[in-house]
């Protein structure tokens, strides 16, 4: 125990140094959604609900694609730890090929959702706004996947400042785009919620361009070695990347799809309940961005330790990330419990939406700690090369336990949106506890 405490003390500073800019980057990513929700506020509850529904259904598809690239965390970080920069570059090339191939497939999947929702009983006013918004978002699919490949590569070789800059500055691009395209300023036609979707796609193209620039600048320092690597599509390497990425993508799809499905549940309720649900999702997703950034740092630090065959470094990296995340999410949970109305009122003043939203955030306060633990444990396990355990945990927790409970409490028991969130809370607590136990067991195998 004394040795572990000493290792944790030594690991704390490099973990924070890597995790802090990545957490800030994730907050910058999430800020786009928050800005879109706030700027859609004057358009009314139907627009807020349609935007939330569009995001809830777009992100599982898009993040499934970026999840296929999460194997880059394992491969690039372990190669970097083993001091093999050539292998790092080869993985980047394969990641770009994989992202480019996935983009059109995922865009078509997104388009297929529009007629599907038409037969699910979705509020008609919400459905009209949703369709235009989702179509606009899909234009950003390819740049989003290219950005993801560049990001996984850069952060795995300890270059994180450009990632933070890209995401934070992209918010300025998004705000300007919303101002121009949503409300018809600077000579543009007012497009309402659809304009917000186009603005987000433009911002994603900007992010991909910034990280491409960062890769080019880094290559100049090393003699442009990336240009000497074969850019042919290597099928064997793609298979290896996909073998790691597919379980991670499926895990993210399982997690994201749950929020999409329960948002469809909420869309069958009144507009105030749907808007409150959308705001609550935005709030907890914002707090989630910090442990998500820590999770990326855990994957990198654990992977690098694996690459240099440092078992003590593996343990210290994972446990330090979990402790940092637990502290932050514990504080976040207290804030959601003590000031839920103030948080919702920062987005809308609609009395019905505020009342329902405040109740949902108090329920969310119970699972904040476990939400942080599950995502960070997932990152640490990814650094080891284990992407299967998180997939199975999320599949069982959300779909076998959480979704049935959410449906029963929402409709047959008549709890409405509150029932949805009680079901989600139970699922997240189960998943968080289970994945920490898996991490502890995996450590016992590598010592």
pLDDT in tens, 356-413: 999 999 999 999 999 999 999 999 999 998 989 999 999 999 999 988 999 999 888 8
426 Cβ partners below 8 Å, 6+ apart?
Answer: 401, 402, 405
Give which of 255, 229, 241 is closest to 149, Cα–Cα: 241
Q: Look at residue 122 in the predicted model and tell me its pLDDT.
A: 65
Burial of 13 (0-12, 13-18, 19+ CB in 10 A): exposed
Give which of 446, 428, 433 is closest to 316, Cα–Cα: 446
Q: Look at residue 1 in the predicted model and tell me its pLDDT.
A: 64
Q: Look at residue 67 in the predicted model and tell me its pLDDT.
A: 83
pLDDT in tens, 229-283: 778 888 888 888 888 888 888 887 788 778 778 877 887 888 788 888 888 988 8
Q: Look at residue 334 in the predicted model and tell me its pLDDT.
A: 96
Q: Look at residue 188 in the predicted model and tell me its pLDDT.
A: 87
Report in angstroms the alpha-carbon separations of 96 from 66, 162, 411. 11, 18, 44
Report in angstroms the alpha-carbon separations of 136 from 54, 99, 148, 202, 281. 10, 19, 20, 10, 21
Q: Look at residue 164 in the predicted model and tell me its pLDDT.
A: 87
Q: What is the pLDDT along the chain (447 residues), one digit of tens a residue?
A: 667 677 778 888 888 888 888 888 877 777 777 777 777 777 777 777 777 777 777 877 887 788 889 888 889 998 888 888 888 888 999 999 999 999 999 999 888 887 777 666 666 677 777 788 888 889 999 999 999 999 999 999 889 889 889 988 998 999 999 899 988 889 888 888 888 889 999 999 999 999 999 999 988 877 777 777 778 888 888 888 888 888 888 887 788 778 778 877 887 888 788 888 888 988 888 899 899 889 999 999 999 998 888 888 888 999 999 999 999 999 999 999 999 999 999 888 888 899 999 999 999 999 999 999 999 999 999 999 898 999 999 999 999 998 899 999 988 888 888 899 999 999 999 999 999 999 999 988 776
Q: Look at residue 53 in the predicted model and tell me its pLDDT.
A: 76
Residue 83 gets the label, from left (phi > 0), alpha (psi -120 to 50) or beta, of left
The 3-class secondary structure across the chain, one letter per residue, is CHHHHHHHHHHHHHHHHHHHHHHHHHHHHHHHHHHHHHHHHHHCHHHHHHHHHHHHHHHHHHHHHHHCCCHHHHHHHHHHHCCCHHHHHHHHHHHHHHHHHHHHHHHHHHHHHHHHHHCCCCCHHHHHHHHHHHHHHHCCHHHHHHHHHHHHHHHHCCCCHHHHHHHHHHHHHHHHHHHHHHHCCCCCCCCCHHHHHHHHHHHHHHHHHHHHHHHHHHHHHCCCHHHHCCCCCCHHHHHHHHHHHHHHHHHHHHHHHHHHHHHHHHHCCCHHHHHHHHHHHHHHHHHHHHHHHHHHHHHHHHHHHHHCCCHHHHHHHHHHHHHHHHHHHHHHHHHHHHCHHHHHHCCCCCHHHHHHHHHHHHHHCCCHHHHHHHHHHHHHHHHHCCCHHHHHHHHHHHHHHHHHHHHHHHCCCCCCHHHHHHHHHHHHHHHHHHHHHHHHHHHHHHC
Q: Look at residue 382 in the predicted model and tell me its pLDDT.
A: 92
pLDDT in tens, 218-242: 888 777 777 777 788 888 888 888 8
End-to-end CA distance of the chain: 14
CA dihedral (98, 101, 102, 107) positive or negative = positive
Q: Look at residue 150 in the predicted model and tell me its pLDDT.
A: 95
Can you give the pTM of this predicted structure? 0.80
182 Cβ partners below 8 Å, 6+ apart?
Answer: 39, 40, 43, 190, 191, 192, 193, 195, 196, 199
Give which of 37, 28, 67 is closest to 55, Cα–Cα: 37
Q: Look at residue 206 in the predicted model and tell me its pLDDT.
A: 96
Long-range contacts of 101-109 (CB under 8 A, 24+ apart): 102/65, 102/68, 102/145, 103/65, 103/141, 103/142, 103/145, 104/142, 106/61, 106/62, 106/64, 106/65, 106/141, 106/145, 107/138, 107/141, 109/61
């Amino acid at each position: 125990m004394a040795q572990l405490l000493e290792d944790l003390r030594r690991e704390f500073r490099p973990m924070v140094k890597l995790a802090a800019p990545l957490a800030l980057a994730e907050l910058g990513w999430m800020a786009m959604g928050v800005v879109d929700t706030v700027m859609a506020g004057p358009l009314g509850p139907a627009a807020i609900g349609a935007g939330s529904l569009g995001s809830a259904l777009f992100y599982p598809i898009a993040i499934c694609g970026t999840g296929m690239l999460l194997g880059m965390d394992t491969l690039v970080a372990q190669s970097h730890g083993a001091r093999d920069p050539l292998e790092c570059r080869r993985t980047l090339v394969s990641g770009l090929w994989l992202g480019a191939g996935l983009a059109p497939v995922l865009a078509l999947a997104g388009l297929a959702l529009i007629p599907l929702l038409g037969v699910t009983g979705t509020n008609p006013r919400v459905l009209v706004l949703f369709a235009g918004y989702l179509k606009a978002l899909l234009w950003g699919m390819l740049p989003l996947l290219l950005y993801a490949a560049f990001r996984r590569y850069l952060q795995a070789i300890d270059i994180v400042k450009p990632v933070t800059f890209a995401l934070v500055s992209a918010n300025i691009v998004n705000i300007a785009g919303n101002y121009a395209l949503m409300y018809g300023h600077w000579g543009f036609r007012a497009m309402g919620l659809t304009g917000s979707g186009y603005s987000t796609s433009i911002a994603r193209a900007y992010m991909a361009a910034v990280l491409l620039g960062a890769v080019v600048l880094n290559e100049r320092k090393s003699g442009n070695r990336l240009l000497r690597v074969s850019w042919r599509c290597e099928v064997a390497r793609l298979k290896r990347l996909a073998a790691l990425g597919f379980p991670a993508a499926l895990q993210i799809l399982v997690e994201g799809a749950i929020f999409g499905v329960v948002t469809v549940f909420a869309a069958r309720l009144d507009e105030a309940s749907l808007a409150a649900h959308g705001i609550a999702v935005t709030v907890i997703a914002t707090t989630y961005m910090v442990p998500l950034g820590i999770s990326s740092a855990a994957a990198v630090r654990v992977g690098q330790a694996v690459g240099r065959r440092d078992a003590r470094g593996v343990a210290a990296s994972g446990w330090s990330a979990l402790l940092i995340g637990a502290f932050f999410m514990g504080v976040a949970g207290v804030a959601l419990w003590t000031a839920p109305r103030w948080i919702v009122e920062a987005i809308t003043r609609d009395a019905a939406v505020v009342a329902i939203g405040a109740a949902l955030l108090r329920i969310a306060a119970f699972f904040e700690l476990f939400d942080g633990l599950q995502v960070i444990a997932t990152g640490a396990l990814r650094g080891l090369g284990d992407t299967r355990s998180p997939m199975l945990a999320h599949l069982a927790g959300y779909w076998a336990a959480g979704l049935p409970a959410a449906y029963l409490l929402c409709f047959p028991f008549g709890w409405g949106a509150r029932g949805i969130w009680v079901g989600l809370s139970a699922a997240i607590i189960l998943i968080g506890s289970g994945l920490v136990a898996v991490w502890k067991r995996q450590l016992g195998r590598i010592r």
